[in-house]
Structure 1
Amino acid sequence: MAIQSRIAIVTGGNKGIGLAIVKNLALQYPSSPLRSGPLTIYLTARSAERGNAAVETLLSDPALQKAKVLSRDGGDSEIKFRELDISSEESIKKFGEFVEKEHSDGIDVVVNNAGIALDGFNLDVVKQTLHTNYHGTLLVSQTLLPLIRPGGRLVNIASMAGHLSKYSKDIQKSFLSAADTSIDACTALMDKFTADVAAGKEKEEGWTSAAYAASKAGEIAFSKVLAREWEGKGVLVNACCPGYVKTDMTKGNGAKSVDEGARTPVMLALAELNGKAGGFWQSEKEIKW
């Protein structure tokens, strides 16, 4: 196989699990079957100030320095910042245009880590959460998937909060049916959740009163649809739960470190998967959704 540079993108990469994913992509790329020439990792974030600061943090990271995996130390990987707000269609469009222009021969890995978890539960929280976690992640996926070369990966960071065991049997069936049908069917289910919350009958209809959980269930569902659509083109799409990680999102209450939380996403991005796609993964294993 001809030597070519590899391109990876991590959304929400300025802190927590996202930052750890960027770091561990650089650490594990040298032993990855995807290795072929230098790797450029785009750490994306909404804030240029925080994003650039995160890159500087990684450049001085002891583990990266010791392993000598960064290009400035003679290694394969270079980490760059690029602004991306997944709650903004304009930002996603602008980022997609940049990637297509800058890397016209394609990219290799996208890890959709960006997301929000708001306090409380009401219609406004539901709309904001779905707008970012569901619609934003979906639009990033649909924007970047056409740019991923055969053999590439798209990894969506979901959560056990989106596990179907949290819903009524009817809602479980609806999710499974949507995942087997189309993106439109998945989106219609998110619209139903919003309408049921607006009517004050989400519990009666079999939902949980948790916007984040519903958004992540929707993300797992559309990941399965995308996996079918792109598997024939040689791109593997999977969703995963990083585990209960000690981050700002869990208010520091997690049981795992950020590096432990990065293990499954990085495995899905770089390891030999033997063609597995459309799965929901946790602790480096595919689990039943």
Structure 2
Amino acid sequence: MTYSRVGVVTGANKGIGLAIVRQLAVQYPNSPHNSGPLLIYLTARDKGRGEAAVKELLEDGQLKRSKALTRDGGLSEIKYHQLDITESSSIQSFAEDLKKAHGDGIDFVINNAGIALQGFSSDVVKTTLGCNYYSTMEACHTFLPLLKPSATSRLVNVASTAGALNKYSDEIRNRFLSSKTESDVTAIMQDFVAAVEAGKEKEAGFPSAAYATSKAGLIGATRAFAAAEKDRGPLINSACPGYVNTDMTKGNGTLSPDEGAQTPVMLALADLMGQTGLFWRNERPQEW
């Protein structure tokens, strides 16, 4: 089958990621970028869980009622592909497969994969930043050249309001806001790790919070990355899905996964009027 548009969702076998895939299929027919059949790659680390997620969506009541999938006469097809963003070889392998299958490029990537670990220690911090910051940005750099050089192409990083800068000292907050490059943000992440290892993160102006700091870094790096790539075409933004009822929030969230999917999906499918490098929540740009 020939596809007019191709998208990728990482960490999509459950929770918000799975809901993003579902809502992409449901909402695509009404998108201004609807130009024909859409292929959505649902990616996950574990092959069994990823394939089970695709099977679940094929029988999903909402998708059946809306006749969103090609098997029901709709426009969207969902395929599983293995991807572990914490493994460089996995990112590269997927990128090579995308190049071979879609030589003219893909249209959007939604980086949803992430972790939230219990406790606070230098190991927790390094592991959390490794996935949520370093691996996500590696995925951005690897996938960006695959995106068509157009403002209808999108790269969306799922961040969090937990990354808001009101938790930091004025000095650290100003460093975030004045960061011009991704390297500037990475230097802040490195200083956070060093401060945690010394047991002095609070004295250094950081919260004792691995997940929140990783997401602050992701918001800052996404903003810098967008500025560096603004002439290439794709719009690059970060988004908070809200406080969603998922495993990550231990079932305490106030929003359903489908509600949490709305802003990332909007950033992938809507006409953004050229807006890039912003942090979004509730489908609107937010103060960081």
Q: Which residue of 2 aligns with 1:205?
A: 204
Q: Which residue of 2 aligns with 1:172?
A: 173
Distance 1:196 1:62 in 2: 49
Q: RMSD of aligned C-alpha atoms?
A: 1.0
Shift of residue 157 of structure 1? 0.3
Q: Alpha carbons of 1:157 and 1:201: their partners in 2 closer, same or farther (altered >3 Å)?
A: same
> After superposition, what is the alpha-carbon deviation per residue over 1:172-224, rounded to whole angstroms, capped at 9, x for unaligned?
0111122xx11111111111100010111100011000100110000001110
Distance 2:261 2:21 in 1: 9
4+ aligned runs moved over 2 Å, structure 1: none
Q: Which residue of 1 aligns with 2:162?
A: 161
Shift of residue 230 of structure 1? 2.4
Shift of residue 93 of structure 1? 1.1
Q: Which residue of 1 aligns with 2:93?
A: 94
Q: Which residue of 1 aligns with 2:263?
A: 264
SS in 2 for 1:231: coil
How many residue pairs get matched?
285
Q: What is the one-letter code of the residue matched to 1:156?
A: N
Retained in 1: the 8 A contact 2:3–2:39? no
Distance 1:183 1:88 in 2: 20
Shift of residue 133 of structure 1? 0.5
TM-score normalised by the chain length of structure 1: 0.97
Shift of residue 4 of structure 1? 6.0
Gaps of 5+ in 1: none
Gaps of 5+ in 2: none
Q: Quick check: 1:131 aligned with 2:130? A: yes
> After superposition, what is the alpha-carbon deviation per residue over 1:125-176, rounded to whole angstroms, capped at 9, x for unaligned?
0010011110110011100011111120011000011001111111101111
**1:217-228 matches, cutoff 5 A:** 217-228=216-227
Q: Quick check: 1:73 aligned with 2:95? A: no
TM-score normalised by the chain length of structure 2: 0.97
Shift of residue 88 of structure 1? 0.8
Distance 2:87 2:126 in 1: 14
> After superposition, what is the alpha-carbon deviation per residue over 1:67-124, rounded to whole angstroms, capped at 9, x for unaligned?
1110111111000000000111111111111111111100001000000000000000
Shift of residue 226 of structure 1? 1.5
Distance 2:15 2:214 in 1: 20
Distance 2:18 2:3 in 1: 25
Distance 1:105 1:251 in 2: 41
**1:221-260 matches, cutoff 5 A:** 221-260=220-259
Q: What is the one-letter code of the residue matched to 2:98?
A: V
Distance 1:221 1:16 in 2: 25
